[in-house]
Structure 1
Amino acid sequence: MDRAEVFGYIPDGKYKTSVAYFSMEFAIDQALKTYAGGLGFLAGSHLRSAFEMKQNLVGIGILWKYGYYDQVRNGTNHMACAFIEKDYSFLTNTGIIFTVTVHNAPVHVKAYLLKPEVFGCAPVFLLSTDIPENDYLSQTITHRLYDPNESTRIAQNIVLGIGGAMLLDILGLTPDVYHMNEGHSVAPNFYLYDKFKNLAEIKKRVVFTTHTPEMAGNEAHSFDLLQEMSFFYHLRTAEVKALLNIDGDNFNYTLTALKFARKANAVSQMHGRVARQMWAGNTGVCEIIAITNAQNPRYWMDAEISQAIADGQSEHLVLRKKELKRALFKVVADQCGKLFREDVLTIVWARRFAGYKRADLLMYDWPGFLNLVNNPDYPVQIIWAGKPYPEDDGAIALFNQIINRTAALPNCAVLTGYELQLSAMLKQGADVWLNNPRMYHEASGTSGMTAAMNGAVNLTIPDGWVPEFARNAENCFLITPASDEFSVMEKDKLENKALLEILNHHVLPMYYERQSDWITIVRSAFSDIMPAFGSDRLACQYYNDLYN
């Protein structure tokens, strides 16, 4: 794959293996709205490190006309979803238009290029069907990331997978490895099968990253609908079932990707064990290793915080943290009309709003929560932020319920607009980064990594990546999980009790009474995060353990 002639990106000679990285999301910069959450944050950091090391890699994604959605407020101060057309002058129009077959009809696809020098990432081709050559229905395929219509989502998968593989051929690029980042991009395998007519030849070229530790979260559709949508390229349903030794009426994206790939990876050591157990009963599944997620420190980390920790300058560290808190608190004041104080311990809960992440766990015992936020001896400030899926009425209701319940509390705020920029400000302004999902539901999670890069202390359930990092009361504070013998409701009750206990008796007294001990934890967290959970390690591990 000769990149120099195509887009002026010359890889380092030590990265001989060429890679095409397929992903529905890329969170590369605040200005480019091609992401929803953690999957995109991972892809963005990966491509930034790939660029910095000049790895032989190119991204394949979709140019979403309306992004995911813009999170705004309605007239009652509740969250609302706005779909606003995006325009990007910094993308390069390649002039390439080609057709893919969707629902037995041609759909025209236009390719744009995000050049490496724009945001400092490996080159990314972004595909769009929103062009005059298409009818309106075909144009809408690339309008909304994770469109709620099932047929539209399948069409998106076809454009990404088959369209992306076709584009590489049009460009004359023949990657050694096709990397599917999550099951959305499983479709190129059918294009490759049409080319090679041999499953073994595909396996030589395909690797896969799985991100979902629950069976229900792995996307599946009926064979009949997929056949009707032209998902299998030139294959028929019976041929697909025979090729992959699949029975039943439904086609599972993840299972299929595991059968096409020569090797796959889960995104934490714990997730690796879960994933191997999940898919163990299926024939033809490839080896699943673990490559723990990571984030790019040069993008996320505040330089002054980093320098103060490196130099052992505790006073500078404290002063810089207060500066960053003041910047965040301007956003709080602007959105919520509440004035936070830089000398008060600030707890942040911020990530995708989904039921299992339990944004409201801190409130489970309401009198206990009020005691926490009204404690005159150890004052606290709490901020929530995050984006629910726009059709997840339960998560949106929870978001708005937290707004309602905290409206009268001057030290509690709920922020909208949770994207890269706000995410960075929250991590820089947090003293405590709260992470309390239900155990075994978080494949990895990465927000706590970037929080620790910015002088915040994790208060967390030991799920996902956390067991690979955590040393309780040394580099973080761990919430003891309730036994699996209890019901979900009882677990929430017990873990809320454990959370309040840690805050009231350990976190708050240390922050206010033993600042040197607090700074020791901040420093320990920073040194344990870097470089183990920086994306340079991740990018190298992908090359060494998955690509080569």
Structure 2
Amino acid sequence: MKAIRRFTVRTVLPEPLRPLRELARNLRWSWHPPTRELLRSVDPDGWAAAGGDPLRLLASVPADRLAELARDRAFRRRLAAAADDLGDYLARPRWYQRQDPVRLPAAIAYFSPEYGITATLPQYSGGLGILAGDHLKAASDLGVPLIGVGLLYRHGYFRQSLDRDGWQREQYPVLDPNALPLEPLPRPDGTAVGVTLTLPGGRPLHARVWKAQVGRVPLLLLDSDVEGNTAEGREVTDRLYGGGSEHRLLQEMLLGIGGVRAVRAYCALSGHPAPEVFHTNEGHAGFLGLERVSELSGRLDFDAAVETVRSGTVFTTHTPVPAGIDRFERGLIARHFGDDGELPGVPADRVLDLGAETYPGGDPGVFNMAVMGLRLAQRANGVSTLHGAVSREMFAGLWPGLDPDEVPIGSITNGVHAPTWIADATLAAIGPRLGGEEALALGDERTWAALRDLPDAAVWELRRVLRSRLVDDARVRLRKSWLRRGADRLELGWTDDVLDPDVLTIGFARRVPSYKRLTLMLRDRDRLTALLLHPERPVQFVVAGKAHPADEGGKRLVRELVRFADDPAVRHRVVFLPDYDMGMAETLVPGCDVWLNNPLRPLEACGTSGMKAALNGGLNLSVLDGWWDEWYDGRNGWPIPTADGADEDPERRDDIEAAALYDLIEQRVAPRFYDTGRDGVPAEWTGMVRHTLATLGPKVLAGRMVRDYVEQLYGPAARAHRAATDQAVRDLAAWKDRVRRAWPSVRVDQLDAAPPDSGPEVGADLPLRARVALGGLQPSDVDVQLVYGPVDDADRITAATVRPLKPAAAPAPDGTAPYEGTLPLTHGGPFGYTVRVLPTHPLLASPAELGLVALPLETEGMTAGVLR
């Protein structure tokens, strides 16, 4: 008989075992092997049955086993040591505490729509969530005072299975928060903290605040499935990326607006320092800026409040395509932010302006969350060097006066949390040479260089151990998948021999949008089959990935791959494992010799799965996109050539690039793997593995990434926030208004840098004078710059150098001012220069911030003068 209601009953632990609950509730266990091993030893069989979830384990341990452990002095000593170690981890000063506090924020609030901390807290769908989880873990290891903010999805993301035909099916298990590593955020009277939003018509939307503890970092998750909400209100946080447009809008309002309110409540109750910096991880949380504007509405007008908010806000974009950005109908936004909706003190028309696509090609009928995020953040970044360039191009319309390469969007390349993603066998092999946990947190290149001395035989044995574990795990998962697909156990004897622990293993596992090209490997099935069944150098593939439930095209790609893998002729050499999650990745990623990534370039923002492979000595075989474009060095894997000239014919492009992939595997990858010496070890291959570990190891760390955020973005944002006093932001808002009104009259009237009669020579310095019409502005309001360098055939400056020009005299009565400097001739051949004017102010992050540039009238772009 089926139960009408389900809830979780907690086990009462004997007094000597009470520290187990704290160890299980702090998610540090998920990346701390000694704690995990202690929890497993409570009941090894129960640990396996609980899927490695310590709370499920503790809920199911028999009372007599708990009593036995309570009497076990050796276990109690181990438990006390683990509890002391956690206490030391939480209290001891770390990297952040050793920095100059004057230059760093007291706290940072980090907002993300999803978090991949551990498979036992399924609140993620893919790379964005895993990245957010790794960000929190690395911040904890470094001592960065971060507060995470997200939503609690009662169904999480979907569980994937396959039907007999290979079609993806989705199931949404119901999650009980009381069975998860969460606690309601309590008030002093014991009641749970909640936040409330006002929906159109005055309807309330309530949410409870839960807290997960991620090492030193609190993670606040908002849950709308509470009494007092309508049925529709309770479903706002039902599932990740579910529902229609208004459903998504309500999720994002709750995340941004409700999230700020949750942070304020948490800080007031816990004594945690209030955040000086707010970090928006993708546009989903962009409404946090509006809530902060609303908080200031009693003492600042809208424009000044926006300047205050901008000063302390960081915006990270993760998408390289406009289609990946959330956009809502303007009427829907106006209705929710009108007088009877949320934030009544914030004018709805000003809200709409923040998200308006005012650039050429923009849609006047939509509200763009990324555009709002950029307008409400003074600092923004992409997640790899190439993605930063793509983002500058994609959003260049917001800064119409600038060339795309000068758009103020930087880049910090993503990283992965080493203690989470390094397999235990890898850590045993390389850990002693690295010298402790700080090497995994800080990424000192000199420390990692010690891995160059790993013996060939040890490297090869490590790779075989990891590959064998993957083979064993894949066989178990494949058998379970076929049973769910309706197969009889007697039909599945063949699964015992799927894959081979001595065969070159290539992995491909990620979400399945079309641009990631799951099925590129199937373009020439005969050639792929020949690679799989090669008599001397066979190859095997392990593939996994989920298509979004609404993406029928993605589901067709999954079915196409599954059907190929079902063929009895090749099914021992290629497998598709359904329901890819963090638990599967812990074995799959380290176990592959080669990690395959073949997106349409440049549509992969970063691609961190290849970083996880590299941390375990896996070699990357990838299109030069995302992080791989930046760090491929010729010895850490292979680049897949791209047919950039065939962009207009996708079928032809896929054919060309698939052929290049087959060539690489057949002619370079497989021969190197199988080219063994008399000791049975492929020396060139193990040399590439060693080089990968030593050189990529320190680069791909999330610790390196978080330190980059602290030094390049969080610190400057905190200092800007402190400088943004009420009077300063009032003055800044008035200054911006004055500059924008005056700018149409600002121009470069005269420009002179005549070369000598004998012709210019490299190394010479030419005197240069310019006269600038200031349009009523003062010289202190502008930055007059000389821009120079080599030019191409269209007279575009290709490698520009910028230097300031100095005022030569006070402005004349007509409002013009002379400027002067020297033009250094740094290159031979065609050479060009121009002079431009940008606004400048001490509170701007860069002169490019306003997107205003004045150039000489006779030029287009930066081509005022050309010397040949």
Which TM-score applies when normalising by structure 1? Answer: 0.94
Equivalent residues in 2 for 1:80-229, closer than 5 Å: 80-87=169-176, 88-94=179-185, 95-104=192-201, 105-116=203-214, 120=215, 122-171=217-266, 172=268, 174-196=274-296, 197=302, 198-229=305-336
Aligned-residue offset at 1:302: 1.9
Aligned-residue offset at 1:227: 2.2
Q: Which residue of 1 aligns with 2:349?
A: 238
Q: Which residue of 2 aligns with 1:511?
A: 673
Preserved CA contact (<8 Å) 2:108 2:276: yes
Partner letter of residue 281 of structure 2?
N
Q: Which residue of 2 aligns with 1:298?
A: 419
Partner letter of residue 181 of structure 1?
N
Aligned partners of 1:493, 1:163: CA distance in 2, in Å? Answer: 49
Aligned-residue offset at 1:243: 6.0
Partner letter of residue 102 of structure 1?
L
Q: 2:638 aligns with which of 472, 477, 486?
A: 477
Preserved CA contact (<8 Å) 2:242 2:248: yes
Report the secondary structure of 1:281's partner residue.
Answer: helix
Measured against aligned partners, the alpha-carbon deviations of 1:165-187 in whole angstroms (never above 9, x if no partner) come to: 11122233631011100000001
Partner letter of residue 350 of structure 2?
E
Aligned partners of 1:49, 1:208: CA distance in 2, in Å? Answer: 19
Partner letter of residue 665 of structure 2?
L
Q: 1:265 aligns with which of 376, 381, 384?
A: 381
Measured against aligned partners, the alpha-carbon deviations of 1:283-322 in whole angstroms (never above 9, x if no partner) come to: 4998211000110111101243245353513323322322
Aligned partners of 2:712, 2:130: CA distance in 1, in Å? Answer: 21
Preserved CA contact (<8 Å) 1:59 1:124: yes
Q: Which residue of 2 aligns with 1:522?
A: 689
Partner letter of residue 407 of structure 1?
D
| Match status 1:545 vs 2:712 | yes
Aligned partners of 1:97, 1:10: CA distance in 2, in Å? Answer: 32
Preserved CA contact (<8 Å) 1:460 1:478: yes
Change (3 A) 1:34 1:243: closer
Change (3 A) 1:386 1:121: farther
Q: Which residue of 1 aligns with 2:810?
A: none
Preserved CA contact (<8 Å) 1:154 1:229: no
- Structure 1 unaligned runs (5+)? 1-7
Measured against aligned partners, the alpha-carbon deviations of 1:230-270 in whole angstroms (never above 9, x if no partner) come to: 48632344222456776522111111111110100100000
Which TM-score applies when normalising by structure 2? Answer: 0.60
Q: Which residue of 1 aligns with 2:397?
A: 281
After alignment, is 294-303 or 442-451 more displaced?
294-303
Aligned-residue offset at 1:75: 4.8
Aligned partners of 1:526, 1:9: CA distance in 2, in Å? Answer: 31
Equivalent residues in 2 for 1:19-58, closer than 5 Å: 19-58=108-147
Aligned partners of 1:277, 1:244: CA distance in 2, in Å? Answer: 18
Change (3 A) 1:242 1:478: closer
Partner letter of residue 174 of structure 1?
A
Measured against aligned partners, the alpha-carbon deviations of 1:150-201 in whole angstroms (never above 9, x if no partner) come to: 1111110011000001112223363101110000000111111112242111
Change (3 A) 1:431 1:121: farther
Report the secondary structure of 1:174's partner residue.
Answer: coil
Measured against aligned partners, the alpha-carbon deviations of 1:31-77 in whole angstroms (never above 9, x if no partner) come to: 11111111111111111110011111110011111111111233545
Q: Which residue of 2 aligns with 1:3?
A: none
Q: Which residue of 2 aligns with 1:433?
A: 595
Considering only CA atoms, is the larger Rg found in Structure 1 or Structure 2?
2
Preserved CA contact (<8 Å) 2:355 2:369: no
Aligned partners of 1:307, 1:524: CA distance in 2, in Å? Answer: 18
Preserved CA contact (<8 Å) 2:412 2:708: yes
Preserved CA contact (<8 Å) 1:92 1:115: no
Q: Which residue of 2 aligns with 1:362?
A: 521
Preserved CA contact (<8 Å) 1:111 1:128: yes
Q: Which residue of 1 aligns with 2:470?
A: 328
Between the aligned residues of both structures, percent identity stands at: 31
Aligned partners of 2:149, 2:240: CA distance in 1, in Å? Answer: 15
| Match status 1:496 vs 2:593 | no
Aligned partners of 2:472, 2:356: CA distance in 1, in Å? Answer: 58
Aligned-residue offset at 1:375: 1.0
Aligned partners of 1:424, 1:243: CA distance in 2, in Å? Answer: 42
- Structure 2 unaligned runs (5+)? 1-89, 186-191, 297-301, 359-363, 431-450, 480-494, 677-681, 716-868
Aligned partners of 2:247, 2:200: CA distance in 1, in Å? Answer: 10
Partner letter of residue 615 of structure 2?
M
Change (3 A) 1:448 1:242: closer
Q: 2:367 aligns with which of 251, 273, 283?
A: 251
Report the secondary structure of 1:343's partner residue.
Answer: coil
Q: Which residue of 1 aligns with 2:459?
A: 317
Q: 1:449 aligns with which of 582, 586, 611?
A: 611
CA RMSD in angstroms, aligned pairs only: 2.0
Change (3 A) 1:243 1:405: closer
Aligned partners of 1:64, 1:470: CA distance in 2, in Å? Answer: 38
Aligned partners of 1:317, 1:280: CA distance in 2, in Å? Answer: 47
Aligned partners of 2:233, 2:356: CA distance in 1, in Å? Answer: 33
Preserved CA contact (<8 Å) 2:356 2:367: no
Change (3 A) 1:412 1:121: farther
After alignment, is 386-395 or 307-316 more displaced?
307-316
Report the secondary structure of 1:293's partner residue.
Answer: coil
Change (3 A) 1:305 1:10: closer
Preserved CA contact (<8 Å) 1:23 1:185: yes
Change (3 A) 1:332 1:304: closer
Aligned partners of 1:304, 1:335: CA distance in 2, in Å? Answer: 21
After alignment, is 131-140 or 343-352 more displaced?
131-140
Preserved CA contact (<8 Å) 1:187 1:232: no
What number of residue pairs does the alignment pair up?
537
Partner letter of residue 233 of structure 1?
L
Change (3 A) 1:236 1:424: same
Change (3 A) 1:323 1:242: closer
Report the secondary structure of 1:227's partner residue.
Answer: helix
| Match status 1:385 vs 2:556 | no
The structure, 1 or 2, with the larger RCO (C-alpha pairs under 8 Å, 6+ apart) is: 1
Aligned-residue offset at 1:81: 0.7
Aligned-residue offset at 1:133: 2.4
Measured against aligned partners, the alpha-carbon deviations of 1:373-397 in whole angstroms (never above 9, x if no partner) come to: 1211111111110111111111111
